Amino acid sequence: MAAIPQALDRELRALLGDAWLRDESDCLAYAYDNSRKLAVPDAVALPTTREQVQALVRACRAHALPLVARGRGTNTTGATVPVAGGVVASFERMDAIMDIRPGDRCAVVEPGVLNGDLQRALAAHGLFWPPDPTSADFSSIGGNLACNAGGPRAVKYGASRDNVLALTAVTGAGELIHCGSATTKGATGYDLQRLLVGSEGTLALIVEATLKLAPLPPARRVLRALYRDVASAAAAVARLMAQPVTPSMLEFMDGDCVRLARGHMQANGGGDLPADAGALLLVEADGDPDTLPHAIRALRQAATGEGLVALDEAVDDGERARLWAARKALSPALRTLAPGKINEDVVVPVSRIPELVAGVQALAREYALPIVTFGHAGNGNLHVNLLFDPADAGQSRRASAAMARVFALALSLGGTLSGEHGIGLAKRDSMPRAITAPTLDLMRQLKSVFDPDGILNPGKLLPP
């Protein structure tokens, strides 16, 4: 574990003043993220300028001290837990929206801006930034970019990597680099900005981002389709994705999820989910009031087919909330099953969803633990949730073993480890199964170019 040399402590206190925290109780707030892992840093820096970030990186490098960038710590993989000690650089004070340029469909922001705050500022201009992680209201743009955050809208609009035009960043060598340009097309040298997105703070610290914006659709409509079984729902997903109207959301729940949601809704005096539903799709379209009815008709038609049990459409906000209720009931319903939950977001090609779900159900039986599957079906990005009691050593062991099998299953179906949560610590040791040895070796060498002394977020993303 690292410790802060006295000379460095003096240097950084002079640089940062009261934005250099050494008190353990202050540091504790930066010790964890949404992964339930915890490691208290030796110090926390709250820089306010890119010059401070650059000086901080150079100082840490001079002392070979680990430096972990942090947005708001909402990631689920341990990516921001300072497991090697050292300094956490929290970007909470670099939270300016520097420029919104509606005519150029872009915004320039500091990394600490919260996604939700940005969306509210953009809405005034009739624009939005597409990435919509569940944590949007309290996660930062810098964190969204570092983890390539997605969300349900990614099926139509892409994830963070698809919605960034340019980044300014400080490498682990302490160099300020400018990647990309504020234009929606570019063929000028190597694409460094998309390489930084999803690199989880292991290559460089983002100090400014130019984001690609989309026009805010004035209206949305939702369909709720219930199917006899997962195979019927998956076939509908393939049909929905093969026709020209791309839904703005396409969410899936397996039969266990539907049963859990139905029980939760009934216990709370509501719900309208039929008993014979073995899978559910929520299909949303966005657009203007003129074209939306046609879009929804095309989606209805694609959703209709073998195994459809019921198809409901919402035309107003109240109806929309009623149809989304099943999805919203899922999280509280899952909490009633067991005190512990592992939520992994594997991805498979859309056509392999039935095999993934069937395989997960077989693993649930084999390991005698409830595992349910739901998520962003249009991207094949499914959240596999395993419920267990962390206080029970046997269950914990079985949970780990089952999740390793889930990863292996997703990979065997031509998928990958993560669609939007990232790797961090949680999936780091599975990387050699997803990425070939020469490719991993190349990634390690790239890391060495950006971060020659390995000070940036050591122990994350790349296996030891």
Q: Return the residues of window 360-379 that contact its own copies according to CB under 8 A.
A: 376, 378-379
Residues 19, 48 contacting (CB under 8 angstroms): yes
What is the rounded CA–CA span in Å between residue 208 and residue 443?
Answer: 24
Q: What DSSP assignment string belongs to 437-456?
A: HHHHHHHHHHHHHH-TT--B
Residues 247, 236 contacting (CB under 8 angstroms): no
Least CB distance from residue 405 to its own copies, whole Å? Answer: 18
Q: Return the residues of window 85-104 that contact its own copies according to CB under 8 A.
A: 101-104
**Site membership for its own copies, residue 179 (CB under 8 A):** yes
Q: In what order do the strands lie in the sheet with 43-45?
A: 20-21, 43-45, 87-90, 67-70
Q: Of 111 and 247, which CB lies nearer to its own copies in the complex structure?
A: 247
Least CB distance from residue 183 to its own copies, whole Å? Answer: 4
Q: Of 44 and 347, which CB lies nearer to its own copies in the complex structure?
A: 347
Least CB distance from residue 400 to its own copies, whole Å? Answer: 19
What is the rounded CA–CA span in Å between residue 323 and residue 317?
Answer: 10
What is the rounded CA–CA span in Å between residue 385 and residue 76?
Answer: 13
What is the rounded CA–CA span in Å between residue 195 and residue 180?
Answer: 11
Q: Which of 45, 350, 364, 403 binds its own copies (CB under 8 A)?
A: 350
Q: Which of 385, 450, 456, 457 binds its own copies (CB under 8 A)?
A: 450
Q: Which of 64, 96, 98, 243 binds its own copies (CB under 8 A)?
A: 243
Residues 111, 71 contacting (CB under 8 angstroms): yes
What is the rounded CA–CA span in Å between residue 25 and residue 27?
Answer: 5
What is the rounded CA–CA span in Å between residue 215 and residue 102?
Answer: 9
Which window, 8-16, 37-45, 64-72, 238-246, contacts its own copies (CB under 8 A)?
238-246
Residue entry with tokens 């993560």:
418
244 burial class (0-12, 13-18, 19+ CB within 10 angstroms)? exposed
The neighbouring-strand residues paired with 429 are: none
Residues 140, 115 contacting (CB under 8 angstroms): yes
Q: Return the residues of window 413-432 that contact its own copies according to CB under 8 A.
A: 414-423, 427, 431
Q: Which of 10, 36, 120, 297 binds its own copies (CB under 8 A)?
A: 297
Q: Which of 24, 175, 276, 366 binds its own copies (CB under 8 A)?
A: 175
Run of H or E including 88? strand 87-90
Which window, 16-24, 37-45, 237-245, 256-264, contacts its own copies (CB under 8 A)?
237-245
Which window, 130-138, 274-282, 329-337, 440-448, contacts its own copies (CB under 8 A)?
440-448
Rg (CA), the chain: 23
Q: Return the residues of window 110-139 that contact its own copies according to CB under 8 A.
A: 126-127
Q: Which of 338, 343, 446, 453 binds its own copies (CB under 8 A)?
A: 446
- For the CA atoms of 162, 167, 170, 171, the dihedral, rounded to the nearest 10 degrees, stands at 40
**Site membership for its own copies, residue 238 (CB under 8 A):** yes
Least CB distance from residue 217 to its own copies, whole Å? Answer: 5
Per-residue binder mask for its own copies (CB under 8 A), 260-289, x = binder: --------------------------xxx-
What is the rounded CA–CA span in Å between residue 167 and residue 190?
Answer: 13
Question: How many residues bind to its own copies according to rule CB under 8 A?
Answer: 99
Q: Of 85 and 378, which CB lies nearer to its own copies in the complex structure?
A: 378
- The gap between the terminal CA atoms of the chain, to the nearest Å, is 16
Per-residue binder mask for its own copies (CB under 8 A), 380-409, x = binder: xx----------------------------
Least CB distance from residue 378 to its own copies, whole Å? Answer: 8
Q: Of 37 and 194, which CB lies nearer to its own copies in the complex structure?
A: 194
Q: Return the residues of window 192-231 that contact its own copies according to CB under 8 A.
A: 192, 194-195, 197-199, 203, 215-218
Q: Could you tell me the sign of the dihedral formed by the alpha carbons of 389, 393, 394, 396, in that order?
A: positive
The residues, ordered by sequence, that sit 6+ positions from 318 with a Cβ below 8 Å of its Cβ are: none
**Site membership for its own copies, residue 84 (CB under 8 A):** no
Least CB distance from residue 347 to its own copies, whole Å? Answer: 4
CA nearest 135: which of 461, 428, 422, 421?
Answer: 421
Least CB distance from residue 59 to its own copies, whole Å? Answer: 18
**Site membership for its own copies, residue 436 (CB under 8 A):** yes
